[in-house]
Amino acid sequence: MSEPAPIVDANSPTGMLEGDLVKRARRGDLKAYDELVQRYQQRIYATIYHMTSNHEDANDIAQDAFIKAYQALKSFKGGSSFYTWLYRIAVNKTINFLKQRKNKHHFSLNDLDFNTENNPDLVALISDKTPLRDVGLTELQKKLNEALLKLSEPHRMVVVLHDVQGQSHDEIAEIMGCNIGTVRSRLFYARQQLQGFLAEYIK
């Protein structure tokens, strides 16, 4: 795998390189770590939220993941990017949490944003392809989350990372510690399963 490009956040207050922030955070600079948290909080939270379908759980696990990452920063060798390493911690924490929660799903779904109804793909999907045309977006959201929770954790993780978050196969393989072939096969199987669960909403 090629060396990841240096990540600079144009919106960050300092615009510092990720590597410099990591070095400073390793020396105990909490301001630098605060910036790293701000950089990745949305993506980490979103991944955990899509895995758990519960806002409160996602909040707790995301915070725990960032704290664990800070405590383990000294063991971060820099073999992968900080972002991938952080993701791996979050993914492991989430999977451990889900194993302990096992079959005790309780939804605490976030609201859909205002742009949902303006998304042409979703509008087309509902108006053209869905047999139940009167189905509301909120109901569709609930059914989708229910279907996702029926998948095993590794299959759900692959779908969330690839189809929801747009990560590449390479990145997912690195985050999940498996090879690309496994990622592809899990993705195919998970999509087939989802297709079966959501058959009445997908023509």
Partner 1 sequence: MSEKEQNFEALKQLLKLKQHEVPPPGYFNNFSDQVISRIRAGEVSGAQTFTEQLEATAPWLVNFLRIFETRPGVIGAFATSLCILLVLSVVFAERSDESSKAVFSLTDPTTSATDGSVAAVSAPPLLAASESYGIAVSTNPVASLQPTTTLFGQSANAGLFQSASFAPAGQ
Among 45, 82, 83, 87, binds partner 1 (CB under 8 A): 45
Among 8, 17, 72, 132, binds partner 1 (CB under 8 A): 72
Contacts of 14 by beta carbon, 8 Å cutoff, 6+ apart:
35
* Residue 132 contacts partner 1 per CB under 8 A: no
* Residue 153 contacts partner 1 per CB under 8 A: no
Our CB check for partner 1 shows the closer of 2 and 62 to be 62
Residue matched to tokens 């989708």: 144
Contacts of 187 by beta carbon, 8 Å cutoff, 6+ apart:
158, 159, 162, 163, 169
Hey, CA dihedral for 20, 68, 53, 166, is it positive or negative? positive
Hey, what are 131's tokens?
């047999």
Hey, CA dihedral for 116, 149, 52, 41, is it positive or negative? negative
**By the criterion CB under 8 A, which residues form the site for partner 1?**
30, 33-34, 37-38, 41-42, 45, 49-50, 55, 62-63, 66-68, 70-72, 75, 96, 99-100, 102, 109-113, 115-116, 119, 121-122, 124-125, 129, 137, 140-141, 144, 159-160, 163-164, 191, 194-195, 198, 201-203
